[in-house]
């Protein structure tokens, strides 16, 4: 159950607004400040429509990406998802391609930065300016995700304020006659342009490559990405409408600074200055977000032995230094040797293919029926949404022409060659796709289910998981003598036969079978027998402490051998059959608690049923208070529970008075030396600790009067 010593994890420093800022910053940049001029040269006024069409293949891909990211929040994003679903060959292709397409987007932004700086300093060449900023941003990224994330928030806030001003005044200056001949470019050009500008949106999901560094990814990742996409759609739709509506097509078409030209028409010379500031902020923002995201792809691939281990090294600030420096080097080469239009097309074409594969990955994971695949967000309208996500990107790639197709083919071929000559002998994984085809069962990567269970343990419980309540109502069996596991199973099964519609013999047989085949985790003096039962409405648990140990013979799935061990703690869990995700999250929560070095000591020294339950709850969701005269809890004495002003979301589950454990009611009066066990959400429990355990006497809540 313990994390392997060599498995280094990145720090969780990113919150909801950081996710929104990184996703928005990776989206609102060159697509707004440079591409409208290039798009207008191909599609005329209908480039507004091209921007809207470009979002269509993104939406199903976004849903699918978020589902995979909430199930598998790991560095590498798309690479990790494809590797674990379609196998390491596809993982190599996806990892290298995503890395390169993100680098292309960064390079495009830095070229755009040079173009806008040239409006004020014509003597400065675009390429050296772009290279200089690339170096500065790479250095910033080496000093930590939190620092670059805070910079991202500030830049995105400034950018959005300026764009709102530009659009708000701009719509008042729109001239209808500039929209004449809206469809003259033809359907083929409009679709081709949609493929070109697709890069404008592609950055919105790149924050998933940072999902390992996001606090509460199941909540913050979907919300941040959806907010970012909604913001981008509004800004692109209204922004391109303003540009077409205030500039004659001959001025707009081909311009590398279309937003500045439109701002000059609206505000005069000050407009150029204001919009250029916004453009520079956006270019730095997308380059920062892109470099941050791109550098995680080689790190994740090195972690899985698909790239040399040097890419896995973390520097003094907890960042992948070699990955960042390599990303910087490739970025500089692209800036120097490629033109802006070429950069945009190459980045868009492979990103479209990636999103098609991501959509396929969701179908594979759903159909694999791996119990530990437990996404916090599920793609709506399955399977139609991922099917649309597979086919629409392919149509756009074809419409973009031969260069884009060839680039995509070359990248795929390069990934296959790299896997064949470097990575094949370094990994034994296969993807979840082999769980779909039972006839290929011999190739199933059994480590995938174990890996997903480890991720569940890291993610922890969801807000609506009733773990605390299950522990609170659990039965406790305290055995003083040495005992065999079969005897304990018999006692537990007899009690459970009154709860579930099975005989005690049937229940015992299932528990013993699970232990025999390796389904019962046994480690560090703890065993976790568990079942999922049809017809059960809520989970139940029985806690067993054996002071002299329970002798258990079990199959160790890690070695494949039968082993024996004496355990002092055995937790029997039964859950509804129709909610495997919650069942596994509860098991993961128990595993995380018993992995603490002090758990067995606390468990074995507990003096009552209440303290045994507290040992399992001993985390951020529970607190035990002993009421005494000489500390902050004195104000609770001689008051009933209903009169105590506890934070919302808290519940007093047990009250111990001497040797007696009382199930408290609102009318229960608290006496000196009573011990209260309180459960609740982490924020509320933290407040209780600060009030009654950490606060000084006299500075605490008083009971209601």
Tell me the domains of the chain and their CATH numbers: 16-426 (1.20.1740.10), 460-613 (3.40.930.10), 620-694 (3.30.70.1450)
**CB 361 within 8 Å of CB 85:** yes
248-263 pLDDT, tens digit per residue, is 998 898 888 899 999 9
**CB 261 within 8 Å of CB 255:** yes
Q: Where are the alpha helices (DSSP H) in 56-183?
A: 58-71, 78-86, 88-117, 126-141, 145-170
Asked whether residue 148 carries a pLDDT value surpassing 70, the answer given is no
Beta bridge partner(s), residue 530? 573
Q: Is 277 exposed, middle or buried (0-12, 13-18, 19+ CB in 10 A)?
A: middle
257-284 pLDDT, tens digit per residue, is 899 999 999 988 888 888 888 888 778 7
The string over 36-68, giving b where at least 16 C-beta atoms fall within 10 Å of a residue's C-beta and e elsewhere, is bbbbbbbbbbbbbbbbebbbbbbbbbbbbbbbb
**CB 238 within 8 Å of CB 32:** no
Mean pLDDT of 632-641: 86
Q: Where are the alpha helices (DSSP H) in 369-437?
A: 384-399, 402-418, 433-436
Mean pLDDT of 513-539: 83
pTM of the model: 0.64
**CB 201 within 8 Å of CB 27:** yes
**What's the number of CA atoms in the CB half-sphere (13 Å) around residue 152?**
34
Mean pLDDT of the chain: 79
- φ/ψ of residue 598, rounded to 5: -95, 5
What the block records as the tokens of 695 is 């606060």
What the block records as the tokens of 664 is 């408290």
**CB 81 within 8 Å of CB 361:** yes
Question: CA-CA distances (angstroms) from residue 2 to 84, 193, 335, 514?
Answer: 22, 51, 45, 21
Mean pLDDT of 445-455: 55
51 vs 648 pLDDT, higher one: 51
In this structure, the strands spanning 540-556 and 561-576 are antiparallel
Of the listed ranges 86-90, 221-225, 416-420, 421-425, the one predicted with least confidence: 421-425
What the block records as the tokens of 651 is 């519940």
**What gap in Å lies between CA 700 and CA 464, rounded to an integer?**
29
Q: What crossing angle do the helices spanning 269-294 and 126-141 adopt, rounded to 10°? A: 50
Highest mean pLDDT among 506-510, 651-655, 664-668: 506-510
Question: CA-CA distances (angstroms) from residue 120 to 115, 159, 265?
Answer: 10, 19, 17
510 vs 94 pLDDT, higher one: 510
183 vs 450 pLDDT, higher one: 183
What the block records as the tokens of 601 is 């000591």
576-592 pLDDT, tens digit per residue, is 888 887 888 888 888 87
| Sign for the pseudo-dihedral over CA of 419, 423, 428, 433 | negative
Q: Which residues contact 171 (CB under 8 A, 6 or more apart)?
A: 238, 241, 242, 245
**What gap in Å lies between CA 431 and CA 68, rounded to an integer?**
14
The label of the residue with tokens 């759903």 reads 366
In this structure, the strands spanning 530-533 and 561-576 are parallel
Of the listed ranges 79-83, 293-297, 488-492, the one predicted with least confidence: 293-297
| 3-class DSSP assignment, residue 51 | helix
| Sign for the pseudo-dihedral over CA of 145, 80, 332, 123 | negative
- 383 cis-preceded (ω within 30 degrees of 0): yes
In this structure, the strands spanning 522-523 and 526-527 are antiparallel
What the block records as the tokens of 594 is 């018993």
Pick the closest to residue 27 from 195, 170, 211, 231 (CA basis). Answer: 231
What the block records as the tokens of 11 is 């720090």
**What gap in Å lies between CA 262 and CA 265, rounded to an integer?**
5
What the block records as the tokens of 691 is 């009030």
Confidence band (pLDDT; 50, 70, 90) for 311? confident
Q: What crossing angle do the helices spanning 321-337 and 296-303 adopt, rounded to 10°? A: 130
């Amino acid at each position: 159950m313990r994390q392997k010593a060599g498995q280094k994890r990145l720090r969780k420093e990113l919150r909801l607004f950081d996710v929104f800022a990184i996703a928005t910053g990776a989206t609102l940049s060159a697509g707004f400040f440079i591409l409208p001029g290039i798009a207008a040269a191909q599609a005329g006024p209908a480039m507004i429509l091209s921007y809207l069409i470009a979002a269509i293949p993104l939406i199903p891909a976004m849903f699918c990406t978020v589902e995979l990211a909430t199930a598998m929040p790991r560095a590498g994003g798309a690479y990790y998802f494809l590797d674990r679903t379609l196998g390491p060959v596809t993982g190599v292709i996806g990892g290298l391609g995503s890395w390169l397409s993100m680098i292309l987007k960064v390079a495009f932004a830095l070229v755009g930065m040079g173009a806008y700086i040239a409006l004020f300093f014509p003597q400065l060449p675009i390429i050296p300016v772009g290279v200089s900023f690339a170096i500065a941003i790479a250095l910033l990224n080496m000093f930590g995700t939190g620092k670059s994330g805070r910079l991202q928030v500030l830049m995105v806030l400034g950018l959005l304020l300026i764009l709102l001003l530009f659009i708000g005044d701009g719509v008042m200056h729109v001239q209808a006659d500039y929209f004449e001949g809206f469809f003259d470019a033809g359907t083929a050009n409009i679709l081709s342009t949609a493929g070109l500008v697709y890069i404008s949106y592609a950055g919105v999901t790149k924050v998933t490559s940072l999902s390992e560094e996001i606090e509460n990814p199941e909540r913050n990742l979907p919300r941040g990405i959806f907010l970012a996409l909604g913001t981008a759609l509004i800004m692109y739709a209204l922004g391109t409408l303003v540009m077409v509506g205030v500039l004659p097509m001959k001025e707009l078409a081909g311009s590398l600074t279309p937003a500045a030209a439109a701002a000059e028409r609206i505000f005069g010379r000050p407009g150029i200055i204001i919009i250029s500031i916004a453009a520079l902020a956006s270019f730095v923002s997308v380059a920062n977000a892109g470099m941050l995201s791109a550098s995680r792809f080689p790190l994740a691939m090195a972690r899985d032995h698909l790239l040399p281990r040097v890419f896995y090294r973390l520097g003094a600030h907890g960042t992948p230094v070699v990955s960042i420096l390599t990303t910087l080097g490739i970025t500089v080469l692209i800036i120097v040797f490629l033109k802006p239009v070429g950069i945009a097309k190459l980045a868009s074409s492979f990103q479209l293919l990636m999103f098609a594969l991501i959509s396929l990955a969701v179908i594979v994971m759903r159909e694999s029926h791996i119990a530990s695949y437990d996404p916090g967000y599920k793609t709506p309208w399955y399977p139609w949404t991922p099917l649309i996500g597979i086919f629409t990107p392919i149509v756009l790639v074809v419409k973009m022409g031969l260069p884009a197709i060839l680039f995509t083919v070359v990248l795929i071929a390069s990934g296959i060659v790299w896997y064949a000559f470097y990575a094949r002998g370094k990994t034994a994984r296969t993807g979840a796709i082999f769980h779909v085809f039972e006839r290929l069962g011999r190739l199933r990567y059994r480590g995938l289910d174990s890996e997903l269970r480890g991720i569940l343990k890291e993610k922890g419980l969801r807000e609506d998981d009733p773990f605390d309540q299950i522990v609170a109502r659990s039965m406790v069996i305290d055995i003083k003598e040495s005992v065999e596991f079969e005897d304990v199973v018999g006692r537990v099964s007899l009690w459970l036969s009154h709860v579930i519609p099975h005989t005690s013999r049937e229940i015992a047989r299932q528990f013993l079978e699970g232990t025999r085949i390796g389904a019962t985790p046994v480690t560090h003096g703890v065993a976790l027998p568990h079942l999922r039962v049809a017809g059960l409405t809520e989970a139940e648990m029985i806690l067993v402490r054996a002071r002299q140990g329970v002798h258990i013979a079990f199959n160790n799935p890690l070695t494949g051998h039968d082993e024996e061990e004496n355990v002092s703690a055995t937790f029997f869990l039964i859950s509804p059959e129709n909610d495997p995700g919650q069942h596994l999250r509860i098991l993961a929560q128990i595993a995380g608690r018993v992995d603490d070095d002090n758990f067995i000591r606390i468990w074995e020294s507990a003096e009552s049923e209440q303290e045994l339950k507290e040992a399992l709850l001993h985390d951020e969701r529970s607190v035990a208070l002993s009421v005494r005269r000489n500390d902050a809890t004195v104000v609770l004495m001689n008051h009933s529970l209903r009169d105590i002003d506890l934070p919302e979301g808290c519940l007093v589950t047990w009250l111990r008075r001497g040797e007696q454990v009382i199930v408290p009611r609102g009318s229960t009066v608290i006496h000196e030396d009573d011990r209260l066990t309180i459960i609740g959400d982490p924020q509320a429990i933290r407040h209780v600790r600060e009030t009654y355990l950490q606060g000084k006497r006299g500075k605490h809540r008083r009971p209601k009067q």
